[in-house]
C-alpha cells in the first residue's frame, strides 16, 4: 500500500526536483518542454560538466536541499544513490556503496572524506554542520585515492558553498513545526567595490524538542540545538588574481542518546520500558561540539590560460559527550568523553586552460592533524550493587594523543585520442605517518573487569603509496558517453585507543593500512532534446586489510570493543540516476542503488573458531532507492503552485558484522511531502510540509553495550510544519 500511495502522489505531480543545477537554465527546445540544466561539478579539482566526468557522482543542489528540508549533512541519507548516513552509538557515520565506519576513537579515521570548498574536514562531527548557504553537495562514489588521497576509500562528499558576487542579494527562511521545531536562516551578499571586492555572510539557528522522554524527570532527549555562521570576502585584485578569505563556525548542542535499551543491564531480560521513545536514565545525556575554521584561497590565471590555486586552511573541533552507561534508573555507570582536533592543510595545484587535446590538474598537498582524547567511565553511588568489587566515585580513564602528517603529490590528465575517445590517467603519491604520541589507560579501579593499565605507550604507522586511476570515455553520440574506470584508494592504519583489556593490549593495538581496488563501467546519457537524463554505473570493489570495529565476547557477561583488520571484503553493485522534465514545470526522477557487500574472508571474526566469511557488511542493505517529482504550475494573480514529494526505501540490513537476529534492521519506507504557493518573481514562497508521512516505525541502529545491554536507535516519527522563504 505504501508503494502505491507514493506512486499516485508522484503521478499527481506533488513533488520537487532533486538534482537541481547551479548553471543558468538552457533555452526551450520544444513547445511546452525545457532542456534540463547542465550540472557543473568540481569533483576533479576543475570545473566541468557532470556528463563529461568518467565517474559515478551524485549532485544535490541548493534547491534540492531546500526542497527536502535538509538542515545538515546527516539529513541527506536518502537523497543520493548509494549514500547513507547512519547512527552508531549516537555518532553519525557516512556510508557510500555499503562501506563506512570510523569515528569512535581518535585512532580510527573515517572511510568517506568530507570536504568544504576543497578543505578536508573529515572528523566525525563534521556531518552535523549546517547546509545553510550551500551551492551544492557532490557525492563521489568509490575510492578517490588520486585526487583526494587518505581516508576516501569509500568515496568523498564535497560541499561547495555559495561564493560572494557583485549584486546585492539577501534571503531568509523562517520555519516552524511540531515537537518545537524552529529554524531561522539568513544570507546577505554585498558588493563593496565595483567588480573588485564583495562580502557574503550567512547564519542559521535550529532547535527542536527531543522525541525520547526520560521518565525519571520528564526531560526530552535527542533534541536539536544548532547554530552556525559563515563569512566570505572575495577580492578580485585584477583580471588574473582572485583572493577569497573564508571563516565558519558551527555549534551543535543537545541531549543525544547512545540508544534506547531493549533489555536489562546484562541483556538477560526485557527492558523495564518496552516500546520506543521512553528511557529511565539517572544521568542526562549530553553532546556539545564546536566545529570551526578559516581558509585563504588564491587563484592566479597565468598568461597561457592555466590557473594556479593555493588553499591554506585551519580547522578545529572541540567535542564533549556524557551518557548513562547502565541504561537504568540506578546510579551505576556513566561516561564522560572529551575530544579535540587541530588541523592545518595546504594545497597548491595547477590546472590547464583552454580545450586542447590535453587537459590536466597537478598539485601538492600537506596535512598536519593533531587529536587529543580524554575519556572516563565513572562509577556511580550505587555501583556496589554490582558484584564486581567496584567503588563509588572512582573511574577508568583513557588519555591519548595522535598526530598525522601527510604529504602528497598528484596529477590527473585527460588525453583526447580522437573526437570520440578520451583517456584519463591519474596518479597520487602519498607519504604519511600516523603517530601515537601518548596513550595512558588506567584500569586499576576495575580489576574484576580486566581493564588494562598502560602508561605512556608510543608507536607509529607509516604508509607510502602510489594510487592510480585509469579511465576511457567513448562518446557514442554527442549526448551519450560510455566509460570504464580502474581506481585505487587507501585508509590509513591507526590505533585502537579505547577501554581495552590486558589481552588486547598485549596483542598490540596497532592495525594496518586498508586498501581498495575499484573496477567500474558506466553510461551517461541525455535524450529527448535533453529533456531526460539517465546515468548508470556498475562496479566491483575489493578491499584488503579491512578495518572493522566490533564487540567481542569475553565471557562472564562481559564484552569489549575490538578493532581488527578483517581480511578481505568484496563489493559489487550498480547505481541508476534518472531525471526528466516531460513538460515545463513538471520534473520526475529516481535514484536507485543495488549493493552486495560481504566479507570474502574474515577468520575468527565472530570469536575464536567462528568465521564470518560471506557475512554482509554492517549497514549495507542490498537495495536503496528514492522516487521524486516536482510541480511548479501558474495559478491566478501571477502566483505559482509548488509542491514536492519523495518516497524512499531502504532494504533490510544488519547493524553488526555477525549478522545476528538481534542486529537486524528492518526495511524502512519514508514519504516526505511539500505543497505551497510561490509569489511572482520567486521573491517569496510559503509551504506546508510533512516528513515521514506514513509514520513508519523504523530502527537505524541496534547494538550491545559493555555489560551486555541490547539497545537501539529509533528513526524520527511523522513531523509536520510550515516554511516561509524570502529573497531580494
Comparing C-alpha atoms, which of 139, 89, 695, 572 is closest to residue 335? Answer: 89
- Contact indicator for 705, 327 with CB cutoff of 8 Å: yes
pLDDT at residue 9, as a whole number: 33
- Contact indicator for 179, 727 with CB cutoff of 8 Å: no
- Contact indicator for 209, 221 with CB cutoff of 8 Å: no
Q: How far apart are CA 663 and CA 655, in angstroms?
A: 5
- Contact indicator for 97, 573 with CB cutoff of 8 Å: yes
In the structure, what pLDDT confidence band is assigned to residue 537 with cuts at 50, 70 and 90? very high
> 3-state class of 269 per DSSP?
coil
Distance of CA 384 to the CA centre of its chain: 42
SS3 content of the chain, % helix, strand, coil (to 5): 5, 60, 35
> 3-state class of 96 per DSSP?
strand
List beta partners, residue 120. Answer: 115
Distance of CA 314 to the CA centre of its chain: 21
- Contact indicator for 550, 561 with CB cutoff of 8 Å: yes
Q: How far apart are CA 372 and CA 105, in angstroms?
A: 10
In the structure, what pLDDT confidence band is assigned to residue 86 with cuts at 50, 70 and 90? confident
pLDDT at residue 556, as a whole number: 63
pLDDT at residue 449, as a whole number: 84
E strands, 417-513, in order: 421-442, 459-477, 480-491, 494-495, 510-511
| pLDDT tens readout for residues 316-375 | 999 999 999 999 899 999 999 999 999 999 999 999 987 889 999 999 999 999 999 999
CA angle 438, 440, 441 (to 5 degrees): 150
- Contact indicator for 364, 350 with CB cutoff of 8 Å: no
The half-sphere exposure of 146 on its side-chain side, counting CA atoms within 13 A, is: 26
| pLDDT tens readout for residues 190-207 | 999 988 999 999 999 999
Q: How far apart are CA 175 and CA 686, in angstroms?
A: 10
Over residues 67-95, the mean pLDDT reads: 80
- Contact indicator for 381, 333 with CB cutoff of 8 Å: no
The three cell numbers of residue 233 are 570576502
**Predicted TM-score of the model (pTM):** 0.89
- Contact indicator for 669, 647 with CB cutoff of 8 Å: yes
Q: CB within 8 A of 100, min separation 6: which ones? A: 84, 86, 93, 94, 110, 111, 112, 154, 619
Q: How far apart are CA 542 and CA 574, in angstroms?
A: 15
pLDDT at residue 25, as a whole number: 35
> 3-state class of 701 per DSSP?
strand
In the structure, what pLDDT confidence band is assigned to residue 555 with cuts at 50, 70 and 90? low
| pLDDT tens readout for residues 616-631 | 999 999 999 999 999 9
| pLDDT tens readout for residues 428-479 | 999 999 999 999 999 999 988 889 999 999 999 999 999 999 999 999 999 9
Query: DSSP letters along 507-541, please?
Result: H-SEEPPEEEEEEEEEEEEEETTTTEEEEEEEEEE
The half-sphere exposure of 499 on its side-chain side, counting CA atoms within 13 A, is: 25
Q: How far apart are CA 307 and CA 287, in angstroms?
A: 43
For cell 590547464, the residue is 352
In the structure, what pLDDT confidence band is assigned to residue 151 with cuts at 50, 70 and 90? confident
Q: How far apart are CA 616 and CA 597, in angstroms?
A: 6
From the DSSP assignment, how many helices (H) and strands (E) are in the chain? 3, 45
Q: How far apart are CA 443 and CA 391, in angstroms?
A: 13
Amino acid at each position: 500500500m505504501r508503494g502505491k500511495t507514493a506512486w499516485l502522489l508522484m503521478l499527481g505531480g506533488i513533488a520537487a526536483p532533486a538534482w537541481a543545477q547551479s548553471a543558468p537554465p538552457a533555452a526551450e527546445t520544444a513547445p511546452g518542454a525545457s532542456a534540463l540544466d547542465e550540472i557543473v561539478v568540481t569533483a576533479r579539482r576543475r570545473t566541468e560538466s557532470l556528463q563529461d566526468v568518467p565517474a559515478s557522482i551524485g549532485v544535490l543542489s541548493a534547491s534540492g536541499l531546500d526542497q527536502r528540508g535538509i538542515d545538515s549533512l546527516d539529513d541527506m541519507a536518502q537523497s543520493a544513490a548509494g549514500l547513507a548516513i547512519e547512527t552508531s552509538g549516537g555518532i553519525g557515520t557516512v556510508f557510500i556503496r555499503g562501506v563506512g565506519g570510523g569515528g569512535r576513537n581518535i585512532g580510527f579515521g573515517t572511510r568517506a572524506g568530507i570536504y568544504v570548498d576543497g578543505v578536508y574536514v573529515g572528523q566525525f562531527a563534521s556531518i552535523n554542520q549546517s547546509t545553510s548557504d550551500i551551492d551544492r553537495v557532490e557525492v563521489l562514489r568509490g575510492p578517490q585515492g588520486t585526487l583526494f588521497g587518505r581516508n576516501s576509500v569509500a568515496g568523498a562528499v564535497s560541499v561547495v558553498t555559495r561564493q560572494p558576487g557583485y549584486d546585492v542579494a539577501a534571503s531568509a527562511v523562517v520555519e516552524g513545526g511540531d515537537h518545537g521545531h524552529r529554524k531561522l536562516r539568513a544570507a546577505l551578499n554585498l558588493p563593496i567595490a565595483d567588480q573588485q571586492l564583495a562580502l557574503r555572510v550567512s547564519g542559521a539557528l535550529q532547535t527542536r524538542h527531543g522525541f525520547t522522554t526520560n521518565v525519571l524527570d520528564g526531560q526530552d532527549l535527542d533534541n536539536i540545538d544548532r547554530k552556525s555562521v559563515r563569512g566570505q570576502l572575495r577580492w578580485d585584485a585584477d583580471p588574473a588574481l582572485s583572493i577569497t578569505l573564508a571563516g565558519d563556525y558551527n555549534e551543535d548542542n543537545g541531549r543525544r542518546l547512545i540508544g534506547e535499551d531493549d533489555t536489562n543491564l546484562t541483556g538477560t531480560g526485557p527492558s523495564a520500558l518496552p516500546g520506543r521513545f521512553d528511557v529511565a536514565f539517572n544521568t542526562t545525556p549530553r553532546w556539545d561540539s564546536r566545529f570551526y575554521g578559516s581558509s585563504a584561497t588564491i587563484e592566479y590565471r597565468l598568461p597561457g590560460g592555466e590557473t594556479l590555486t593555493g588553499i591554506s586552511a585551519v580547522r578545529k573541533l572541540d567535542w564533549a559527550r556524557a551518557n548513562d552507561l547502565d541504561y537504568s534508573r540506578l546510579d551505576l555507570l556513566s561516561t564522560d568523553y572529551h575530544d579535540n582536533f587541530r588541523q592545518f592543510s595546504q594545497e597548491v595545484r595547477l590546472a590547464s586552460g583552454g580545450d586542447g587535446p590535453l587537459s590536466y590538474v597537478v598539485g601538492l598537498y600537506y596535512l598536519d592533524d593533531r587529536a587529543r582524547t580524554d575519556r572516563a567511565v565513572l562509577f556511580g553511588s550505587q555501583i556496589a550493587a554490582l558484584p564486581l568489587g567496584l567503588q563509588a566515585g572512582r573511574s577508568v580513564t583513557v588519555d591519548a594523543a595522535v598526530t598525522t602528517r601527510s604529504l602528497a603529490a598528484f596529477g590527473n590528465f585527460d588525453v583526447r585520442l580522437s573526437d570520440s575517445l578520451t583517456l584519463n590517467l591519474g596518479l597520487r603519491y602519498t607519504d604519511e605517518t600516523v603517530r601515537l604520541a601518548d596513550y595512558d589507560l588506567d584500569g586499576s579501579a576495575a580489576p574484576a573487569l580486566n581493564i588494562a593499565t598502560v602508561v605512556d605507550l608510543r608507536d607509529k604507522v607509516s604508509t607510502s603509496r602510489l594510487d592510480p586511476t585509469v579511465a576511457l570515455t567513448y562518446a557514442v553520440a554527442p549526448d551519450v558517453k560510455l566509460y570504464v574506470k580502474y581506481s585505487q584508494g587507501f585508509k590509513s592504519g591507526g590505533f585502537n585507543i579505547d577501554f581495552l583489556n590486558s589481552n588486547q593490549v598485549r596483542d598490540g593495538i596497532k592495525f594496518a593500512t586498508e586498501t581498495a581496488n575499484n573496477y567500474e563501467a558506466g553510461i551517461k546519457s541525455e535524450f529527448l532534446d535533453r529533456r531526460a537524463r539517465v546515468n548508470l554505473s556498475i562496479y566491483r570493489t575489493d578491499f584488503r586489510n579491512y578495518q572493522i570495529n566490533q564487540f567481542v565476547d569475553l565471557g562472564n557477561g562481559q564484552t569489549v570493543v575490538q578493532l581488527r583488520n578483517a581480511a578481505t571484503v568484496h563489493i559489487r553493485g550498480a547505481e541508476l540516476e534518472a531525471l526528466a522534465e516531460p513538460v515545463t514545470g513538471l520534473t520526475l526522477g529516481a535514484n536507485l542503488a543495488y549493493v552486495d557487500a560481504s566479507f570474502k574472508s574474515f577468520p575468527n571474526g565472530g570469536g575464536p573458531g567462528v568465521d564470518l566469511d560471506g557475512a554482509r557488511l554492517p549497514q549495507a542493505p542490498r537495495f536503496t532507492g528514492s522516487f521524486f517529482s516536482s510541480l511548479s504550475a501558474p495559478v491566478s494573480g501571477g502566483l505559482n503552485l509548488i509542491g514536492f514529494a519523495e518516497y524512499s526505501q531502504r532494504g533490510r540490513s544488519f547493524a553488526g558484522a555477525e549478522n545476528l537476529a538481534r542486529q537486524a534492521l528492518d526495511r524502512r519506507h519514508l514519504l516526505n511531502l511539500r505543497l505551497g504557493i510561490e509569489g511572482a518573481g520567486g521573491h517569496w514562497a510559503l509551504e506546508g510540509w510533512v516528513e515521514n508521512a506514513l509514520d513508519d516505525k523504523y530502527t537505524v541502529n541496534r547494538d550491545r553495550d559493555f555489560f551486555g545491554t541490547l539497545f537501539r536507535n529509533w528513526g524520527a516519527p511523522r513531523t509536520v510544519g510550515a516554511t516561509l522563504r524570502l529573497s531580494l
